[in-house]
Structure formats: structure tokens, C-alpha cells
Amino acid sequence: MAIEANNHVVGIKYELREQGGTEILDANTQDAPLEFVMGTGMIIPGLEAGLVGMSEGDEKKIEVAAADAYGEQNPEAIQMLPRDQFEGIDLEKGMMLYGQGEDGQTTQVVVKDFNDTDVTIDFNHPMAGKDLVFDVIVTSERPATADEVATGEVGGHEHGAHCAC
């Protein structure tokens, strides 16, 4: 059976590189496979589209343009903030910091530059603007259950005493 675009549970092992690069940016080849329900937005769109039609055991190099990965660099996502907002932090160029966004979600920023009065931070995803290459092996694939389709979670969830279904 081949992977379909939606409502299919897929397990993959992968290595990720930037297009034209040799350095492995991310991998799970030594870990458990990444499992997800297709069509739920759990992985980047370009990788998901590249998996359609593959079957268990298939291996493939999937090239993903920046626009179908983490998006293009947004110059408006680079901001300068007062240095005193970073009091107690030993700043280094390129370091990642985590904070809370206006919506309460965890936000990751990269320190681009700093001086005695200001800190320039980048809210873009660290891989924004990069074309990516995934070396993928499909470790499992099957149709999703009704519960997995409804929740977007592999294995669905247990309907116990505290279930708010």
C-alpha cells in the first residue's frame, strides 16, 4: 500500500541537510522513527508531499524548497531590543534564547548582534530561507484510525475518566 496525502499514519527515519551541504542538521536514524498522521500539519509541507506514493521500506531523497519548509527569511522578524531586557544573560552571537510570545506560546529567537545598549534578535526559524534535503526511509505506513484522524495523534487517545471528548 502506498502513502496517501491525508489520513495515513507514517513512520520515518531521516537525515536532514541544507541543499548543497554535507553537515547533518537533524536526524533520527539512531532513535525511534518519527510517526505522524498525514495531512495534520505535523511535518513541513514539502516533506509531507514528497512522501506521497512511497511504501514501507522505500528510501528517497526529498528536496524541499525553503517556501515549502520553514518559509523565507522575513526581514520584519529581526528586531532590536534594549540590552536591559537581557539582564543576567551572558550573550553570544548565534545563541538561541527562548521566551514567551504574546500568544503565550514558547518563542525561539537567535541573537544576531549586540552592544552595550541594544540586542538584535531574529524571530525567524533558524532554517528559514534554506532549501533542505531529507534522506528518508519509510519504516511504517497504514491507514489512520477514525480516532487518529479526529485527534491528529498517532494512537489517538484513551477515553478515560478525565476525557473531555
Question: Do 62 and 87 fall into the same domain?
Answer: no
- pLDDT, tens digit, for every residue of 140-150? 999 999 999 88
| Alpha-carbon distances, residue 79 vs 61, 90, 105, 106 (angstroms) | 36, 19, 19, 17
- Going by pLDDT thresholds of 50, 70 and 90, the confidence category of residue 156 is low
- pLDDT, tens digit, for every residue of 41-74? 899 999 999 999 999 999 999 999 999 999 999 9
| Alpha-carbon distances, residue 49 vs 46, 63, 68, 161 (angstroms) | 5, 10, 9, 38
Residue 159 lies in a domain: no
Containing domain of residue 19, as a range?
8-70+127-151
Taking the model in full, what pTM does it have? 0.79
- Whether residue 58 contacts residue 13, with contact meaning beta carbons closer than 8 Å, is answered with no
pLDDT of 152 over the 90 cut = no
Q: What is the CATH number of the domain that holds 49?
A: 3.10.50.40
Residue 2 lies in a domain: no
- Going by pLDDT thresholds of 50, 70 and 90, the confidence category of residue 161 is very low
Count up the domains in the chain and report the number: 2
Question: Do 117 and 134 fall into the same domain?
Answer: no
The amino acid sitting at 52 is V
Nearest to 48 by CA among 132, 156, 124: 132
Residue 53 lies in a domain: yes
- pLDDT, tens digit, for every residue of 88-140? 999 999 999 987 777 788 888 999 999 999 999 999 988 999 999 999 999 99
Question: Do 52 and 20 fall into the same domain?
Answer: yes
Q: What is the CATH number of the domain that holds 106?
A: 2.40.10.330
